[in-house]
Structure 1
Amino acid sequence: MDSVGGFSGGTAAARGRRTAGSKVDQAYLALKRAIVSGALAPDTPIDKNEWCVRFDVSRLSITTAINRLAFEGLVVVEPQRGSYVAKIHLEDVRQWMLMRRALEIEVVGVCAASMSDDAIAALGQNLAYQKAAIASGDLEGFHELDTRFHRQMTEGLNLARMGEVLDPIRTHLERVRRTLLPEPGRPEGTFREHEAIFGAIAARKPEQAKGEMADHLDRVWRELHSFVARHPGFFDETDPRE
C-alpha cells in the first residue's frame, strides 16, 4: 500500500514539475515573441510581477525564463536595476547579415541553374500571396511570406544542411527585420525585389539572380543605418566583445 501511495505521490510530483516547466516555457516563448516582434522595445523594464500574474507562475519561474533570454542576448539583467530588454548590437547584426548574404547569394544562383519547375512555380505562388497581403495591409502575413520565400529556395533544392545554417541566422536577424517592417514603402520595395529575384530564377539566369539577391540584402543594411540615425536608443553601437 505504501509503495502504491509512494508511486502515486511520485507521479503527481512529476506531473507538477512538467506543468511548472510548461508554464516556464510559455512565459519564455511569450516574452521572446514580444521582444523579437518589437512589442517590448529595447530598454523596456520587464515587470516580473506582471508576468507572474499573466502566466500564473511563481517569481522563480519568471526569473528562469528571463535568465534563458539573457543567455540568448535578448534581455539584460543588472543588480539594483532589474531586468530589461537588451538593445540590438549593430556589430552582431553586421556579422549575421554578412553570413546571410554570402550563403543566400550562392543558394539563389543554384536555384536559377537547377531548381525544378514545380519549385519555381511555388515561389511564384508565394509572390502572389505577398501581393495580396500588401494590398490588404496585412504586415504580419507579408512578413511570414517573406520569410517563407527565402526558405523555399533551400527547401526547393533539398539543401537541408544549408537550411540548418541559415535558419538560426534569420532568427538572430528577426528583431531587425520586424523593426524595419512598418517603415513606409518597405513591404512594397521588398516585394519588387522578390519579383526581380524570382524573374531571374525563372529565366534561368544564375548571375542575374545573384545580383538581384545582393541588391535585396544590401538594401536592408542601408535602411537599417538610416533607421539607427533616427532611433539611436534602439541600438548598441559598441562591440559586444569589448
Structure 2
Amino acid sequence: MFSAASAAARGRKAQGSKVDQAYLALKRAIVSGALAPETPIDKTEWCAAFEVSRLSITTAINRLAFEGLVVVEPQRGSYVAKIRLEDVRQWMLMRRALEMEVVAVCAADMSDDALAGLEKNLAYQKAAISSGDLEGFHELDTGFHRQMTEALGLARVGEVLDPLRTHLERVRRTLLTEPARPQNTFREHEAIYAAIAARQPVQAKSEMANHLDRVLRELHAYAAKHPGFFEE
C-alpha cells in the first residue's frame, strides 16, 4: 500500500523546483481528500518522497498553513486543518451573488457558439458519469461554470470567482463521492443550460441559485455525519 506522499511523488510533473512540487502535491492531497482533516503530516515521509530537506518541507507546510489548509502546533506537529463551515458559508455567499448575475447575462447575451460549447460540456459530463469518471466529471463541472464568464469576456469577474472556487474545492470534492451527487449536479446543469438557451434570465438565476444552495444543504448534512472533519 502506497502512502499519499509516495503517490504524489509518482504523479508529479517536471515543472518547478522539488520544493514547489512537494508544496503543490501536498496541497492537492489535502484538497482532493486524500489527506483527511486531522491527518498528521509526516515530514520525514514527504522529504523522502520528494528528495528534499526537512527545511524545504517545513517551508511548504508553512505556506499551506498560511492558506488555512494546515495547522501547525508546537506540541502536536503539523496536521490537515478541518474545514471551517463559516468560511464556506461566506465563500458560497459571494459565489452565489456573482454567478447568479453572470448566468442572467448569459441568458441575455451569450452567443450561439458559446451555447454550443456549454451543450458539448454537458455531453461530456454525461459520458463521465456513465463511465464512473468522478475526476473527469469534477473538471467538467468546473469548466461548465468557467465557460460562462469566458464566453462573455468577463475576465475581471473570473479573477474573483476562480479563487472562490479554489477555496471551495475541498468541499466540492468531499461531497462528490456522496451517492447520486454527480447525477443531481448534471440535472441542475441541464436546467441552467435550458434557461440560458431559452433566453430566460430570471429562470436562469433561479436555477443557478438552486444549484449552489444545494451545496450548502448537502454540506450541513455531511457535517452532521462527519463532525470530526469540520469546525464552526
**TM score, norm. by length of structure 1:** 0.89
Deviation at 1:119, TM superposition (A): 0.3
Which residue identity does 1:61 align to in structure 2? S
Aligned length: 218
Equivalent residue of 2:17, what SS? Answer: helix
Q: Partners of 1:221 and 1:53 in 2: how far apart?
A: 39
1:4-153 aligned at under 5 Å gives the runs: 22-153=17-148
Deviation at 1:46, TM superposition (A): 0.1
Q: Partners of 2:76 and 2:167 in 1: how far apart?
A: 26
Q: Partners of 1:28 and 1:146 in 2: how far apart?
A: 25
Q: Partners of 1:209 and 1:121 in 2: how far apart?
A: 17
Deviation at 1:201, TM superposition (A): 0.3
Q: Computing the radius of gyration over CA atoms, which structure comes out larger, 1 or 2? A: 1
Deviation at 1:43, TM superposition (A): 0.2
Deviation at 1:25, TM superposition (A): 0.3
Deviation at 1:79, TM superposition (A): 0.4
Q: Partners of 1:223 and 1:91 in 2: how far apart?
A: 15
Which residue is equivalent to 1:199?
Answer: 194
Deviation at 1:175, TM superposition (A): 0.2
Per-residue displacement from partner, 1:24-54 (whole Å, max 9, x unpaired)?
1010000000000000000000000000000
Structure 2 unpaired stretches of 5+: 1-13
Which residue is equivalent to 2:8?
Answer: none
Which residue identity does 2:185 align to in structure 1? T
Q: Partners of 1:78 and 1:109 in 2: how far apart?
A: 46
Deviation at 1:80, TM superposition (A): 1.4
- Extract structure 1 runs of 4+ deviating beyond 4 A: none
Which residue identity does 1:33 align to in structure 2? R
- Aligned mate of 2:178, from 174, 178, 183: 183
Deviation at 1:23, TM superposition (A): 1.1
Structure 1 unpaired stretches of 5+: 1-18, 238-242
1:154-165 aligned at under 5 Å gives the runs: 154-165=149-160
Q: Partners of 2:119 and 2:218 in 1: how far apart?
A: 26
Which residue identity does 2:55 align to in structure 1? L
Which residue identity does 2:174 align to in structure 1? T
- Aligned mate of 1:221, from 216, 222, 225: 216
Equivalent residue of 1:77, what SS? Answer: strand
Per-residue displacement from partner, 1:157-197 (whole Å, max 9, x unpaired)?
00000000000000000000000000000000000000000
Q: Partners of 2:78 and 2:150 in 1: how far apart?
A: 39
**TM score, norm. by length of structure 2:** 0.93
Which residue identity does 1:43 align to in structure 2? E
Q: Partners of 1:201 and 1:224 in 2: how far apart?
A: 27
Deviation at 1:110, TM superposition (A): 0.2
Which residue identity does 1:75 align to in structure 2? V
Deviation at 1:217, TM superposition (A): 0.4
Q: Partners of 1:204 and 1:163 in 2: how far apart?
A: 22
Which residue identity does 1:47 align to in structure 2? D
Q: Partners of 2:71 and 2:210 in 1: how far apart?
A: 34
Which residue identity does 2:199 align to in structure 1? R
